[in-house]
């Protein structure tokens, strides 16, 4: 403080022609002395006189202090009544942010709520969600820990244990605390305490050799020289903590080294300090020095402080000192702004410039609230609505030096006023953890759930203690410790690890596949078979075997069978909208036409046989008209069903993502399942009627007995399609399409083989049977056999 005041008094820019004075009062960290000193300063004399100022020629315009929060609270309650500005440099209690109780209190250190926020931010940044908490049983510890608990709860972390450091007990409750730490799985332990309250606990930890833990220090002990000795290095090496922001004060080291007993005759502490610093005694100074010891050397005054390397002149990390320096400058800039006030710039009567010759302390509060200046380091100083500067902390790491003691290495910073994303700066590469490792140790209740799984809370356990459950089928999690799994987009599917979505496989019966190629070749070969038989029949159209079996109807049936084979191609390839409209309709109509022809042939066999009987009424029905009518009506009904289907709910192409996980099936949706099964049902009805009629006509004379072959063909046809229904419903994707093609080929081939192959055998290999005489002879033989029977 003295250095700052002398620097200001020498400045030509700040408060020119004005000299600042000061009084120093030592409260000895006692609340009663803080109260006593406050009353002395207000009165201007040692005998307090409330509401009176005895030294009117020396106006009191502000107080810097006190250090401890408890002492500052006592002072602030008195000074608030007089609206006298008070700026503390170390008091960090959140209670002092209450502007109603403490309207004139300001400070250059953040309150502990910011420290709690920063500690929680650091713990979460390091992934420590399972932490222990040791709390000094005073306002500092309890309030700081309470705020930290709330911040950790908001961030999703958990407190493994919370124990009090009981100051009223000599051992500080150390034995119980150590036992709790040993039984806990928490590796990171936050300690909200002062160094004085923590020393007995550290001694007990040394006796129990309690190592391997990561200690997180509050600013109350993070830079303590008492705990930095080599005695505690085995326990505290690797610890990290928050410390009040350190700054540089140019010229301060020279100022410290310039202190000398000869130039500070009014300060008795300088001579005692000199003795301790240099290990000497001043001669004949019984009132100042300790007892004379002949082994001690005499102080000469020629000793040089800059030759020593002690905490006194170590300015590498000025923390409380820097805050005090800032507090003095804040007061000086407040006075400067008031002194340079221009009346013509005032916009309100309440803000009129103060009378410099009759200045009142309460007038400074308005200027102190609005003061804004830059520090030597370039940072800006200002007070918020609670009279606090922006929260800035150094993050330090306890590292063991060559001598075995601990040094405090800055490894990061926390700045509450920094832009988002830059609030915490932490350089993990500079940190040396316990045992000298460089990898960040873990402190979790449960090891992190890997991508592909999610967290599930254990009943009765904190939220940080959870189970890791694999994601359900079709869902992924792509981050560690995911709370939930989520589904992929409709066209994507989880990979084997279920940590990312990959494109689904697209499936349809493509012409490039082996299965499609084989089916295509079979379709072509099978379609050539009825076409070849048709050519054969045309070439032998006048032979009895062709004429006796309704030549024109056979031609029509062979053409229909050729179309039945070829309609299979509508099911192969990419299922476009046009192909979806054609495939089932083409299948239904061609097969209906084919079965109608077979039904007509069977009916004509029955009519032809019965028309030969005497006086039969069926003679007038013998002729091609009946067969044409049956074929036309049978086919027309199916055409009407298909037209209705296409008009009401036509088939369409769709992406089926439900049938097979991880696969998109390109298929034709029937549109109306009822229409689809009506079409198949009608086809089944025609087949059943044909089978029944053929079965009843199977014992007609051999020369006309085509019904026997039709019976076998329809039996095979019905067997194929009855087997097809369950197989069709149980398969998906391209195999369902292949199943329908297979049914088409099999059933069509059955009709060709059962009906036409026997005729081809006679035409090509037994031409002697393909004569009118042979047929008449058989007919005569058959008639005699019937008469005999």
Distance in angstroms (rounded) separating the CA atoms of residues 211 and 232: 11
pLDDT digits (tens, 9 = 90+) for 568-597: 999 899 998 889 989 889 999 999 999 998
> Residue 617: which pLDDT band, with cuts at 50, 70 and 90?
low
> Residue 288: which pLDDT band, with cuts at 50, 70 and 90?
very low
Q: Per-residue pLDDT averaged across 479-493, rounded?
A: 89
Distance in angstroms (rounded) separating the CA atoms of residues 196 and 225: 11
For residue 703, pLDDT over 60 is answered with: no
Lowest mean pLDDT among 181-195, 308-322, 380-394: 308-322
598, 561 contact by CB (below 8 A): no
Lowest mean pLDDT among 111-115, 401-405, 440-444: 401-405
The rounded percent of the chain whose pLDDT value lies above 90 is 41
Distance in angstroms (rounded) separating the CA atoms of residues 390 and 381: 8
The rounded percent of the chain whose pLDDT value lies above 70 is 91
Quick one: which of 331, 362, 359, 365 has its CA closest to 56?
A: 359
Sign of CA dihedral 722, 727, 728, 729: positive
Sheet holding 63-64, edge to edge: 63-64, 86-88, 105-107
pLDDT digits (tens, 9 = 90+) for 67-123: 888 899 999 999 999 999 999 999 988 999 999 999 999 999 999 899 999 999 999
For residue 195, pLDDT over 90 is answered with: no
Written as six digits, the tokens of 651 are: 């088939």
pLDDT digits (tens, 9 = 90+) for 13-31: 999 988 999 988 889 888 9
Distance in angstroms (rounded) separating the CA atoms of residues 510 and 238: 65
| H or E segment and range at residue 418 | none
CB burial of residue 26 (10 Å; 0-12, 13-18, 19+): exposed
For residue 287, pLDDT over 50 is answered with: no
> Residue 423: which pLDDT band, with cuts at 50, 70 and 90?
very high
End-to-end CA separation in angstroms for the chain: 143
DSSP helix/strand/coil, 738: helix
- Share of the chain residues as helix, strand and coil, in percent rounded to the nearest 5: 50, 15, 35
CA distances from 27 to 71, 536, 694 (A): 8, 128, 123
pLDDT digits (tens, 9 = 90+) for 745-772: 998 998 899 888 888 888 888 888 877 7
Q: Per-residue pLDDT averaged across 685-708, rounded?
A: 74
Quick one: which of 404, 362, 101 has its CA closest to 237?
A: 404
> Residue 290: which pLDDT band, with cuts at 50, 70 and 90?
very low
CA distances from 640 to 626, 629, 637, 682, 683 (A): 21, 16, 5, 11, 13
> Residue 286: which pLDDT band, with cuts at 50, 70 and 90?
low
Q: Which residues pair with 192 in a beta bridge?
A: 135
């Amino acid at each position: 403080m003295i250095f700052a005041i002398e620097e200001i008094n020498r400045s030509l820019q700040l408060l020119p022609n004005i000299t600042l004075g000061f009084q120093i009062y030592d409260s000895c960290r006692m609340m009663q002395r803080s109260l006593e000193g406050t009353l002395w300063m207000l009165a201007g004399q040692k005998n307090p006189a409330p509401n009176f100022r005895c030294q009117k020629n020396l106006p009191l315009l502000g107080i810097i202090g006190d250090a401890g929060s408890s002492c500052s609270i006592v002072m602030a309650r008195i000074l608030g009544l007089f609206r006298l500005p008070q700026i503390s440099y170390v008091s960090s209690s959140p209670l002092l942010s209450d502007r109603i109780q403490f309207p004139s209190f300001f400070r250059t250190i953040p309150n502990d709520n910011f420290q709690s926020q920063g500690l929680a931010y650091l713990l979460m940044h390091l992934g420590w969600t399972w932490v222990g908490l040791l709390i000094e049983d005073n306002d500092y510890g309890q309030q700081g820990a309470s705020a930290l608990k709330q911040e950790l709860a908001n961030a999703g972390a958990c407190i493994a244990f919370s124990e009090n450091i009981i100051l009223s007990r000599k051992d500080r409750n150390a034995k119980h605390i150590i036992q709790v730490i040993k039984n806990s799985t928490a590796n990171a332990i936050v300690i909200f305490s002062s160094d004085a309250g923590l020393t007995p606990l550290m001694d007990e930890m040394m006796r129990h050799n309690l190592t391997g833990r990561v200690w997180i220090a509050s600013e109350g002990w993070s830079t303590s020289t008492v705990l930095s000795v080599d005695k505690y290095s085995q326990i505290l090496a690797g610890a990290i903590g928050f410390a009040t922001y350190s700054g540089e004060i140019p010229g301060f080291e020279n100022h410290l080294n310039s202190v000398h007993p000869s130039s500070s005759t009014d300060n008795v502490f300088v001579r005692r300090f000199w003795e301790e610093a240099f290990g000497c005694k001043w001669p004949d100074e019984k009132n100042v020095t300790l007892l004379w010891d002949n082994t001690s050397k005499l102080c000469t005054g020629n000793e040089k402080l800059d030759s020593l390397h002690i905490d006194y002149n170590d300015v590498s990390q000025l923390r409380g000192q820097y805050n005090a320096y800032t507090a003095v400058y804040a007061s000086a800039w407040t006075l400067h702004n008031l002194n340079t006030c221009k009346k013509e710039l005032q916009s309100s009567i309440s803000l009129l410039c103060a009378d410099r010759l009759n200045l009142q302390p309460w007038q400074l509060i308005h200027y102190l609230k609005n003061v804004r200046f830059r520090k030597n380091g370039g940072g800006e100083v200002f007070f918020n609505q609670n009279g606090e500067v922006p929260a800035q902390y150094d993050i330090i790491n306890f590292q063991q030096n060559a001598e075995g003691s601990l040094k405090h290495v800055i490894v990061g910073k926390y700045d509450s006023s920094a832009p988002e994303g830059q609030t915490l700066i932490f350089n993990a590469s500079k940190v040396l953890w316990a045992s000298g490792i460089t990898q960040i140790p873990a402190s979790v209740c449960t090891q992190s759930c890997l991508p592909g799984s999610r967290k599930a809370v254990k009943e009765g356990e904190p939220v940080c203690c959870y189970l890791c459950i694999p994601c359900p089928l079709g869902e992924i999690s792509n981050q560690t410790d995911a709370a939930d799994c989520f589904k992929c987009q409709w066209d994507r599917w989880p990979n084997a690890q279920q940590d990312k979505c990959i494109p689904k496989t697209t499936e349809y019966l493509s012409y490039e596949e082996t299965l499609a190629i084989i089916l295509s070749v079979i379709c072509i070969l099978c379609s050539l078979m009825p076409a070849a038989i048709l050519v054969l029949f045309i070439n032998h159209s006048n032979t009895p075997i062709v004429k006796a079996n309704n030549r024109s109807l056979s031609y029509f049936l062979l053409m229909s069978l050729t179309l039945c084979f070829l309609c299979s191609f509508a099911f192969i390839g990419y299922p476009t909208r046009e192909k979806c409209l054609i495939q089932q309709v083409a299948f239904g109509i061609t097969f209906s036409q084919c079965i109608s022809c077979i039904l007509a042939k069977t009916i004509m066999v029955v009519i032809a046989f019965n028309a030969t009987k005497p006086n039969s009424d069926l003679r007038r029905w013998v002729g091609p008209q009946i067969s044409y009518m049956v074929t036309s009506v049978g086919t027309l009904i199916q055409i009407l069903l298909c037209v209705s289907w296409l008009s009401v709910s036509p088939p369409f192409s769709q992406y089926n993502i439900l049938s097979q996980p991880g696969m998109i099936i390109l298929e034709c949706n029937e549109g109306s399942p009822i229409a689809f099964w009506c079409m198949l049902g009608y086809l089944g009805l025609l087949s059943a009627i044909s089978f029944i009629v053929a079965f009843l006509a199977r014992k007609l004379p051999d020369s006309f007995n085509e019904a026997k072959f039709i019976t076998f063909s329809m039996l095979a046809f019905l067997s194929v399609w009855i087997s097809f229904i369950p197989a069709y419903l149980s398969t998906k994707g391209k195999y369902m399409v292949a199943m329908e093609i297979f049914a088409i080929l099999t059933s069509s081939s059955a009709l060709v083989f059962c009906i036409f192959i026997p005729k081809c055998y006679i035409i090509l290999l037994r031409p002697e049977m393909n004569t009118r005489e042979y047929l008449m002879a058989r007919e005569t033989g058959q008639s005699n056999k019937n008469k005999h029977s």
